[in-house]
Amino acid sequence: MGTGKRRLLTAAVTVVCAVTVLAAPGTAFAAPKPTPGSSAAPSASPTPPPGKDLEKVRKKLDGLYHDAAVATDAYNAAEEAAKQQSARIVDLAKKIVEGQKKLDGLKNQAGAAARAQYRNGGLPPTAQFLLSDDPQQFIDGAGTVLNGQRATSKLIVEMTRTQKDLQTYADDASAEWQKLEAGRKAKAAAKKRITQQITEAEQLESRLEKKEKERLAKLEEEAAHKAQTAWLDTGILKEVSGKASEQGKEAVEFATAQLGKPYVWGAEGPRSYDCSGLTSQAWAKAGHPIPRTSQEQWKQLRHVDVKDMRPGDLIIYFDDASHVAMYVGDGAIIHAPRPGRTVTVAGAGSMPILGVVRPDA
């Protein structure tokens, strides 16, 4: 088998492998690493004995669910990248098929030219002139021969260029395949971490007695209320008076309609959501698509001062941008909090605010 055929076979195998991986569950790019840990969300600590110190239990749960949120953002980023990767693989496959058809056509032309030369005996022009019974006829055809030589030269150049293009597509497909494989592993690792964190949190909560669970819920409410009160005491709402844009109103209406639906990590509707799944779908419904993850929303969308925020804007929480909610006015947000909870209304200051972004700036 010639070198050219081997290269094209390699390209075809690469594309088939890549498409096979795309069809398999859990395929994605490697997710970008989140900003190092948040000072606002405590990290996991040794499991405290249930019933002994519920405040420690609360902090432990906060840490577990925060770590799960970070891993969820990584998982979602991998999902988003996988969609782009899929489009790239399909595009490469189409280019390889089209390029192969073009190369086959050029080879047919080259073959026809070679056969024509064979019929002429492969003699050089001078010999053909000397042996010709009608020299004048040969001279008249000399221009045609020259044009044929030029056409052959162009044919060779075009074949060479097409072969180079096919090799480039094959190299690109191979590189994309490697990214897909790395992404598959990274996504599997993120999923494992999410499962571990949530399972540990659920096990910790399951060890609590009914009265302890009730008291824990009360402590969580008190902590959120304390944070919200401190935020309001700064007088921030006296400065916040922005009115929602038309698209912002649509986004708020969509988010409001999702109240009561369960939080599920990696979900983006219509029956369940995670935090960024809710905000991204709300703005997609409003006709303005935004990045899928809270970290990318923070990176890519326009930042605005808290005092300038308006309904529909997104509030990003924690130092690592691991949570996002939609501001709906009057100091309130709608968000998907964490596993075991539903989409709900909460105080905008109930969690440490990193900043505010505006999708329709």
Is 66 part of the annotated catalytic residue set? no
Q: Please, are residues 271 and 277 in contact by the beta-carbon 8 Å criterion?
A: no
Q: For the chain, how long is the longest CA-to-CA vector? A: 115
- The torsion defined by the Cα of 277, 278, 284 and 286, in degrees rounded to 10, comes to -170
Q: Please, are residues 273 and 281 in contact by the beta-carbon 8 Å criterion?
A: yes
Q: How far is 259 from 272, CA to CA, in rounded Å? A: 10
What Cα–Cα distance (Å) separates residue 186 from each residue in 80, 295, 314, 341? 13, 17, 28, 27
Q: How far is 166 from 238, CA to CA, in rounded Å? A: 63
The residue annotated as part of the active site, out of 17, 225, 288, 323, is 323
Q: Please, are residues 258 and 319 in contact by the beta-carbon 8 Å criterion?
A: no
Per DSSP, 332 falls in state: E
DSSP annotation string for 284-300: HHTT----SSHHHHHHH
Is 275 part of the annotated catalytic residue set? yes
Report, in this order, helix, strand and coil percent for the chain, each rounded to 5: 60, 10, 30
Is 323 part of the annotated catalytic residue set? yes
Tell me the torsion sign for CA atoms 171, 7, 83, 321. negative
If one counts every other C-beta atom within 10 angstroms of the C-beta of residue 298, the result is 22
How many residues make up the chain in this entry? 361
DSSP annotation string for 177-204: HHHHHHHHHHHHHHHHHHHHHHHHHHHH
Residues taking part in catalysis: 275, 323, 335
